Amino acid sequence: MRRIGEALDSITAFLGAAVAGVALLLPITFTWTGESTPYRMTSLVNSVPRGAAFGLIVAVTVAVLVTTFTSPVTAWATALGGALGMFVNHLVGDHVSSPDMLTTQNYLDAVCSGVLLGALGAAVLRRPGPATGFALGGASSFVFGDLAEWLNITDQDPFTVLETPPRSLIAVVVLFLVVSTFRNRYRPRDARSPRMTIELPVTPILAAMVLALVILAVTEWLARQYQDAPTLGHGIDIGLAVTATVIASTAAAMLLPGRDGAGVYLAASLVPVADAMGYAPRPGWSLLAVVAVTAFGLFIGMRLPSMSLAIMLIIGLAAFALATTSVDGDLILGVGSAALALTTGYCCGAARPRYAPSGVLAIGALFLPSIITAIPVQFDGEPMRENAVSPSIAARTALALAICSAVGLALLHLFRPHTRPQPDNSTEDEKFADI
């Protein structure tokens, strides 16, 4: 019975993380949004990266509070509340008569998904089986991308989907969370919690704020530079954006205890690489293949964890994207998708932060925007864009970010010992991450 319960919690963690990830990646949209004004549609599109940044901050805050002050059953109940909030938000959306509410609903969706992601991560990330399900759900929803084909979103009008994620999938998550909450109602709290959870409950929240807000601000700033001067080269602007992103990642990584910040570096470099490779529409059946390859990478990462290998895989993906910018074909897209899924899974399995909110931050950072999204790249197969630039610019930018992240990881391993020193020997390591 215990194994069955663990398997049930693992499925719940997988579905919950996947639904939260899709909610952060995509806006709530409805069939009649095509009749909205350009201003309303622009507001809706702009609210997606802002909602993802806000949702990440909410997720880490909830994870810190739940981990520090409450019992496991409270974590499950909080996750259930977030899923119920998402379901009600999507249910009410079908009966809203004004498109002015779309942006507000998207922010509400981001908040609820943040609560779901943070509370669920706090509930499962110290248990091997459910933690694996949580990481696999978050990584799979990131790798599959925009779910365009699966949700029947047309290339001409990407806002015709009724809702993302579908209400039926949210209802399934709610049902599983009810069962898991009931099953874990008597689960005792861990006898020994990491010391950092009591002494430094604020630093992961600060790390999430620094990472999310700086990346969001830099992305929007770079997008404005291209809009204001579309015909000029923006090499210096891209360089400044890369520098700001690396500084934000370093600050966030150093605010986390021990070497938990390694996951931040991996996510901050993996997202731009995925954006540089482009998101091609995939048939619905390929979702199973993506999950399987991601799970295989996750298994290898858990068995043979290596930060050096993880960052080298990301650099290799960036080099692959750069080498194939002028090559088109289904084979190249298939190989790239498989390599991205394998790399994402390996990174999630190899990171394994000791503190649950650090894991929530690393998974949630996969759904943040990147500076690549601000560059008007013209990928093959897409409609012609005005003043579009070559995909090689995006690939070189992603490669630069990956190399800088590799340097950051090396410095993190240099300044942070592999095991936390004993209190009677030295407290220097703890003070380094304090505020």
Assess whether 303 and 435 both reside in one domain: yes
CB 40 within 8 A of CB 100: yes
Residue 57 sits in a domain whose CATH number is 1.20.1250
Q: Tell me which of 155-164, 166-175, 309-318, 341-350 is least confident.
A: 155-164
- 107-121, 132-146, 225-239, 418-432: least confidently modelled range: 418-432
Q: State the first-to-last Cα distance of the chain, in angstroms, to the nearest integer.
A: 45
pLDDT at position 99: 57
Same domain, 260 and 205: yes
What integer is the mean pLDDT of 408-413?
A: 92
Tell whether the model's pLDDT for residue 70 goes beyond 50: yes
Task: Assess whether 365 and 231 both reside in one domain.
Answer: yes
Residue finishing a domain among 191, 219, 238: 191
Same domain, residue pair 234 and 286: yes
The whole-number average pLDDT for the span 59-83 is 91
- The predicted model scores a pTM of 0.85
- Whether 207 and 258 have beta carbons less than 8 Å apart is answered as no
The answer on pLDDT for 187 being more than 70 is no
**Which of residues 230 and 360 earns the better pLDDT score?**
360
Q: How much is the pLDDT for 421?
A: 40
287 and 214 in a common domain: yes
- Residues 359-381 have a mean pLDDT of 84
- pLDDT greater than 70 at residue 231: no
Shared domain check, 421 and 272 = yes
Whether pLDDT at 108 is above 90: no
Does residue 154 sit in the same domain as residue 287?
Answer: no
Q: What is the total count of domains within the chain? A: 2
Q: Alpha-carbon distance 209 to 264, whole Å?
A: 13
Look up residue 123 and give its DSSP letter: H
> Which of 191, 212, 231 is at the close of a domain?
191
In which band, very low, low, confident or very high, does the pLDDT at 281 lie, cut at 50, 70 and 90? low
Query: Is 364 in contact with 204 (CB distance < 8 Å)?
Result: no
The pLDDT, as a whole number, for residue 233 is 74
Q: What value, to the nearest 5°, has the Cα angle with vertex 152 and ends 31 and 291?
A: 135
User: Is the preceding omega at residue 165 within 30 degrees of 0, hence cis?
Assistant: yes
The pair phi, psi for residue 202, each rounded to 5°, is: -95, -25
pLDDT at residue number 428:
36
Q: Which of 106-110, 138-142, 228-232, 281-285 has the lowest mean pLDDT?
A: 281-285
Range in 78-87, 123-132, 216-225, 413-422 with the lowest mean pLDDT: 413-422
Tens digit of pLDDT for each residue in 326-340? 776 677 878 888 899
Confidence of residue 282 (pLDDT cuts 50, 70, 90): low
Please indicate, yes or no, whether residues 171 and 210 belong to a single structural domain of this protein. no
> Mean pLDDT across the stretch 32-39?
44
Residues 184 and 257 in one domain: no
**Average pLDDT in the 199-223 region?**
88
| pLDDT for 161 | 41
What are the residue ranges of helices labelled H in 278-325? Answer: 286-303, 307-323
pLDDT at 201 over 90: no
Tell me the pLDDT of the chain averaged across its residues.
80
Indicate whether 135 pLDDT > 60. yes
Beta bridge partners of 377: 389
CB atoms within 10 A of CB 311: 25
What is the domain range of residue 410?
194-435
422 pLDDT higher than 50: no
**Stretch 393-407: mean pLDDT:** 94
- Is residue 234 domain-shared with residue 273, that is, in the same domain? yes
CA atoms within 13 A on the CB side of 43: 15
Please give the average per-residue pLDDT across 100-115, as a whole number.
82
- What is the percentage of the chain residues whose pLDDT exceeds 90? 46
Residue with tokens 């970010």: 401
Q: Does 301 have pLDDT greater than 90? A: yes
Going by C-alpha positions, the residue among 264, 265, 269, 277 that lies closest to residue 357 is 264
